[in-house]
C-alpha cells in the first residue's frame, strides 16, 4: 500500500473513531480493522485483542481494534462505516444484530473490502452480506450440546441468565440449551442487564421465586461473575447445577472449586487471530479455506484446567 494512502487512512481513523491501534503502522503492510459489539466494560474481549495483536505481529500487518464504548449497536454500525471510509485492506467484524449491521457490512463489501465475520452471526448471514467466511461458534448448536450434557446429568429445569438480550444470536444459546434438555424455554430466559449488582439481585430474586429450578446457565463472565456471588450469598454455591459459556478468571476459579460444573470455551483468541492470518494470506497469495471455521464449543471441566487456568483472560 502506498505511503500517502496509509497516511490518509491513519488520519481518518484518528479523526473519525479514535481506534485502538494494536500494531505500529508501516509503509508496506496490509491494514485490517476488527470491529466488535463489546462495551469497554466487558473484559472477556481482552482475549480477542490479544489474538488480533499477536496475529498482526506474526504476519507483519497493521491491525486496529474498534468498538462502541457502551455496546450500542447503532454506534457500532457507524464505526463500521468509518472503518470502511478509511479504506483498510480488510474488516473483521461481529454480526450481533443482522438488521442493524448488515447494511454497513454490505457497503464495505460493495466497495471492494474483504470482510470476515467472527464471533457473532451465522455462516448463512455471513454469506448473505457477502463476507468471505465466518469464524466462530455455532451458538444454537453449542447450547444444544450443553443441554444434552445437562440432561444426562439429570437436569430438568433451568434459568438462563442473559446479559446480552439485544444480541439475538447470543440468545440462541438459551434456546439450544432448552431444546437439548427437552423442555420449552418459556420464561426461563432472564433479562439480567449488564450491571453486576443488578445481575446479582435479579438472580437472587429469580431463585427465591423459583426454588425448585435445577440449573443455572450463564452466557459469559458478565453474567457468570455476579451469579457466582449470588450463589455464595444465598447458600446455593456448589449445590445447584451451574454451567456457563465462555471463560474468565472467576469462572475458572469457580470450576476449580466446584461451584460451576463446566464452561464452554468458544476460543475467542482464535476468532480474532485466524481472520488476520486468513486475510493476509488471501491478499498476498489468493488462498482461502473453502469452509467456515468453528472455533467451539469445547467443554472445560475441573479435570482439564491446567493451561486454561494459566492463560484465562489472556489467551483462553
Could you tell me the mean pLDDT of each successive run of 10 residues in the chain, 316 residues long?
42 48 61 96 92 98 98 97 98 95 98 97 95 95 96 98 85 96 94 95 97 96 96 97 93 95 95 98 96 93 86 82
Q: What is the model's pLDDT at position 52?
A: 98
Query: Residue 244: helix, strand or coil by DSSP?
Result: strand
Q: What does CATH list as the number for 139-265+301-311?
A: 3.40.50.2300
Enter the pTM of the model: 0.78
| Beta carbons within 8 Å of 209's beta carbon, 6+ residues apart | none
Q: Do domains 3-137+267-285 and 139-265+301-311 have the same CATH topology?
A: yes
- Does CATH place domain 3-137+267-285 in 3.30.2130.10? no
Q: What is the model's pLDDT at position 47?
A: 94
| Beta carbons within 8 Å of 163's beta carbon, 6+ residues apart | 192, 193, 194, 199, 218, 219, 220, 222, 223
| Beta carbons within 8 Å of 182's beta carbon, 6+ residues apart | 147, 151
| Strand segments (E) across 5-130 | 20-21, 31-35, 62-66, 90-93, 114-118
On whether the CB atoms of residues 155 and 214 are closer than 8 A, the answer is yes
User: Hey, where are the domains in the chain?
Assistant: 3-137+267-285, 139-265+301-311
- Please give the Cα distance from 273 to 30 (Å, whole number): 15
Q: What is the model's pLDDT at position 20?
A: 63
Amino acid at each position: 500500500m502506498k505511503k500517502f494512502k496509509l497516511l490518509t487512512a491513519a488520519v481518518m481513523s484518528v479523526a473519525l473513531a479514535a481506534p485502538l491501534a494494536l500494531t505500529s503502522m508501516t509503509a508496506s503492510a496490509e491494514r485490517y480493522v476488527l470491529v466488535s459489539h463489546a462495551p469497554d466494560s466487558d473484559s472477556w474481549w481482552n482475549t480477542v485483542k490479544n489474538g488480533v495483536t499477536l496475529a498482526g505481529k506474526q504476519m507483519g500487518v497493521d491491525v486496529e481494534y474498534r468498538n462502541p464504548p457502551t455496546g450500542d449497536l447503532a454506534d457500532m454500525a457507524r464505526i463500521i462505516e468509518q472503518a470502511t471510509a478509511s479504506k483498510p485492506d480488510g474488516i473483521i467484524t461481529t454480526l450481533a444484530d443482522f438488521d442493524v449491521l448488515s447494511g454497513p457490512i454490505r457497503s464495505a463489501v460493495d466497495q471492494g473490502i474483504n470482510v470476515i465475520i467472527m464471533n457473532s452471526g451465522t455462516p448463512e448471514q455471513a454469506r448473505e452480506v457477502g463476507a468471505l467466511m465466518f469464524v466462530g461458534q455455532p451458538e444454537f448448536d453449542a447450547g444444544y450440546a450443553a443441554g444434552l450434557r445437562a440432561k444426562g446429568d439429570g437436569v430438568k429445569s433451568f434459568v438462563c441468565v442473559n446479559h446480552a438480550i439485544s444480541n439475538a444470536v447470543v440468545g440462541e444459546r438459551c434456546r439450544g440449551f432448552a431444546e437439548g434438555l427437552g423442555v420449552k424455554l418459556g420464561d426461563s430466559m432472564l433479562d439480567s442487564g449488564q450491571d453486576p449488582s443488578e445481575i446479582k439481585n435479579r438472580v437472587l430474586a429469580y431463585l427465591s421465586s423459583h426454588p425448585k429450578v435445577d440449573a443455572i446457565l450463564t452466557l459469559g463472565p458478565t453474567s457468570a461473575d455476579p451469579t457466582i456471588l449470588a450463589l455464595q450469598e444465598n447458600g446455593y454455591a456448589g449445590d445447584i447445577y451451574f454451567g456457563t459459556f465462555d471463560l474468565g478468571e472467576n469462572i475458572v476459579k469457580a470450576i476449580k472449586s466446584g461451584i460451576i460444573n463446566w464452561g464452554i470455551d468458544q476460543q475467542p483468541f482464535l476468532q480474532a487471530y485466524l481472520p488476520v492470518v486468513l486475510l493476509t494470506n488471501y491478499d498476498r497469495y489468493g488462498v482461502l479455506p473453502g469452509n467456515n471455521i468453528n472455533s467451539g464449543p469445547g467443554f472445560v471441566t475441573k479435570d482439564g484446567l491446567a493451561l486454561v487456568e494459566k492463560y484465562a483472560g489472556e489467551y483462553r
